[in-house]
Structure 1
Amino acid sequence: MNRLLVFIPTYNEHENVGPLHAELRKLPLDFDILFMDDGSPDGTGKILDDMAAKDPKMKVIHREGKLGIGSAHFTAIRHACEQGYDVLVTMDCDFTHNPADIPRLLEKLSGYDIAVGSRYCNPDSLQGWSLPRKMLTHFGHFLTSNLLGLPQDASGGLRAYDLKRIDHHAFGPIQSRSYSFFFESLYVLIKQGYKVSELPITLSARTYGHSKMSLTEAARSASFLFRLCLENIVNPGRFHPSRDPDRIEPGLSDPQNWEPYWRQKSRLSAFVYEVIATIYRRLIIRPNLERAIRREFRPGSALLHAGCGSGQIDVSLHASYQITALDISLAALELYSRYNPQVHRLEQGSALALHHPDGTFDGVYNLGVVEHFSHEQIETIYREFYRVLKPGGKIVIFWPHRRATSVFVLKVWRYILDNILKKPGEFHPAEPSLLDSEKQARGFLERTGYKFVGYEFGPRDIFIQAVVVGQKPA
């Protein structure tokens, strides 16, 4: 095993650190040990320093105050990645985890990305535990299994991570720094496609000390678990690492103020809007977009998604097309990269002044973009699209209609917020150019040099957006 690190977080473990270190050193393995102490008032830190002075393969990190078990594990993972370790094993200090299980855990890691010690594979795994602790533990497993779909032991600290197989950016979306770190980290890695194996273990009652998991902390963890479940519905991209844009335009002006729109979703009105918008995007807009793109463009075509936003609607197109996603907001590009890890390129830019050479793309498409611009700006955008299109290339524009059902619903919801709930707020930047008719759509295309190819406005998306198609002459 190349470069193995065993990590143990400590807080008031002065009775355990010495015996645990001795047991670890009896193992027939070559490995380093990292203890991380959160300012234990019982002198644990001093004992660890004395031990490290005698063991050249042991390191101690001291932190000021009790910063959280999840924070300690996250810091250890980052340390292991930065120091070039191939495998990281994590365990508790109170002997609920048996050091003798580590070789078996490493065997379980073969062919997998993560191996976890499981309390639920054997019926007698919790020997000597009190009934309340058993009930709390099994209830937590019931929640993680049924709400997050994690059949593994998702809340245990005995784990092995194969850092040669796991990209260090994969840990970036993990937010929790408390006990909920354990099920969130496993959930995030599994959502990214990493594979987990389990080792059946027996957890005896603690040799020394007592559980540091309070009822308050258990309640916080349960609340966070429900939040993860909801986020998987509303914002599944948040579980994937973001990617840096391939191109950034320094000092790019954002007159419509999209950056804060994509960054703030905390207010109740914004959250409710996002839930409704997400359902609409997935169930209605996504199949409508896929139908239009596959109808108008051959597989392998180079396409520009101009004004890509969060990218919830074209996730399945990247396997068939080379898509360049462009947006004026870096926050939007960050979200897009989480939803669409296969995107060909990510670029910051303005549709009013594209930096691409003439004839770069086979097609250009966008959804819910042009209505935020004036008529003069729309013509400028269309001419820029015309310039970067190859001869015969097409634009596909999803343009919200002035008589759309969504316009009516949003007016009603705004009235409720302003006059009944007394919580006024805007859901998105202004829409001065909602589409009036097919005639108007045709006029924009023909004035900017396109051949008018098609127009649809009907029940496929509940009468919300017109699909306008134009073609650059061959």
Structure 2
Amino acid sequence: MLIAVATYNEIDNLPIFVERLADTLPQVDLLVIDDGSPDGTGDWCDQEAKVNPQIHCLHRRGKPGLGSAIIAAMQYAVENQYELMVNLDADLSHPPEMIPELLQAWEENDPATTVVIGSRYIQGGGIKGWPWKRHMMSRAINLYTRWLLWLPMADCSGSFRAYPVKLLKRIDFDSFLSQGYSFFEEILFHLQREGAKFVEVPFTFVERQHGASKISLKKAMVAVATIFRLGLKVWCKI
């Protein structure tokens, strides 16, 4: 199994994340995709990888986008023949201690086709530390996505997920419209077309304590436009 995290300026969070992950799942591999963090996140990862063969670092120049970072992780998982890839954020908003619950849900269903979603919006899930405007924006984008793309899950926009690599092998990543935050909606769109089944596991999202959120209004509007373009494919039967 591969755990994947995309990083940009997470030097205050990544060491804590790695320690908590090791305490929870000491045998898993970790892939860090770092987009040239000026705060030394990538350098720290390289040093850790020298003493821990389970840690792998992928360095990218510039900031080509969060979605493209997760695509790189998925391609890495396919090329290295992992069975499952779990994606979550390195800023500790997604608790590594919850990963075993995602694994259990995956194992209890069809492992070849089941995508497990860490969900903030089903009973037992929640969010801590957000202002009301961000709550409203997140709720709105989920409603908008479910209606446009006919997706069945309550949480379409979160990144805390477990993906079977057999399903990822079927995806044409060159066809993706999104390189940014709308990737998380778009990958569900493509997976559903490939026959994926979706299971949601509740968890509580906790807003980051260190560093700054990377999302902005401009990025949010780009995501809305991209989801609309995907919606045209659904409604026009493309």
Scaled to the shorter chain, the TM-score interval is over 0.9
Q: Contact 2:93–2:207 (CA<8 Å) still a contact in 1? A: yes
Shift in alpha-carbon separation, 1:46–1:132, aligned structure 2, 3 A: same
Partner amino acid, structure 2, of 1:54: V
Does the Cα contact within 8 Å between 2:148 and 2:234 map onto a contact in 1?
no
Aligned residue in 1 for 2:29: 32
Structure 1 residue matching 2:201: 3-state secondary structure: strand
Q: Deviations over 1:337-383 (max 9, x none)?
A: xxxxxxxxxxxxxxxxxxxxxxxxxxxxxxxxxxxxxxxxxxxxxxx
Which residue number corresponds to residue 122 of structure 1?
123
Q: Pairwise CA RMSD of aligned residues?
A: 1.5
Q: Which residue, out of 100, 103, 106, partners 1:106?
A: 103
Task: Report sequence identity in percent.
Answer: 37
Distance 1:123 1:169, change over 3 A: closer
Please tell me whether the aligned partners of residues 52 and 58 of structure 1 are also in contact (alpha carbons under 8 angstroms): yes
Q: Secondary structure of 1:207's match?
A: coil
Given that 2:102 and 2:162 are in contact with CA atoms closer than 8 Å, whether structure 1 keeps it comes out as yes
Deviation at 1:90, TM superposition (A): 0.5
Q: Give the counterpart of 2:159 among 152, 157, 160.
A: 157
How many corresponding residue pairs? 232
**In 1: Cα distance, 2:219 partner to 2:130 partner:** 19
* Equivalent pair of 2:125/2:203 in contact (CA under 8 Å): no
**1:214: which partner in 2?**
216
Q: CA 1:77–1:124 in 2, change beyond 3 Å: closer, same or farther? A: closer
Aligned to 2:13: 16
Supply the distance in 1 between the matched residues of 2:145 and 2:97 (Cα, whole angstroms): 28
Where 1:109 maps in the other structure, the secondary structure is helix
SS where residue 24 of structure 2 aligns? coil
Following the alignment from structure 1 to structure 2, what is the Cα–Cα distance between the partners of residues 178 and 30? 31
The aligned runs of 1:178-257 (5 Å cut-off) are 178-236=180-238
* Counterpart secondary structure, 2:225: helix
Contact 2:88 2:94 in 1 (8 A): yes
Q: How far 1:235 sits from its partner (Å)?
A: 4.9
For structure 2, which runs of at least 5 residues remain unmatched after alignment?
A: none
Q: Which runs of 5+ in 1 are unaligned?
A: 237-474
- Offset of residue 175 of structure 1: 3.1
The change in CA–CA distance for 1:220 and 1:213 in structure 2 (over 3 A counts) is same
Distance in 2 between residues matched to 1:149 and 1:118, nearest whole Å: 17
TM-score, normalization: structure 2?
Answer: 0.93
- Shift in CA distance, 43/61, structure 1 to aligned 2, threshold 3 Å: same
Would the alpha carbon gap of residues 167 and 60 (structure 1) be closer, same or farther in structure 2, given more than 3 Å must change? closer
Q: Which amino acid aligns with 2:30?
A: I
TM-score (norm 1): 0.47
- Amino acid paired to 2:20: E
Partner residue, 1:170: 171
1:211-259 deviation line (CA, Å, top 9, x unaligned): 21100010111111111111223352xxxxxxxxxxxxxxxxxxxxxxx
* Structure whose alpha-carbon radius of gyration is higher: 1
Cα distance in 1, alignment partners of residues 93 and 152 from structure 2: 21
* Structure 2 Cα separation of the partners of residues 124 and 175 of structure 1: 30
Q: Distance in 1 between matches of 2:8 and 2:57?
A: 13
Quote how far apart the aligned CAs of 1:128 are.
Answer: 2.2
Asked if 2 retains the 8 angstrom alpha-carbon contact of 1:171 and 1:189, the reply is: no
User: SS in structure 2 opposite 1:188?
Assistant: helix
Amino acid at match of 2:191: L
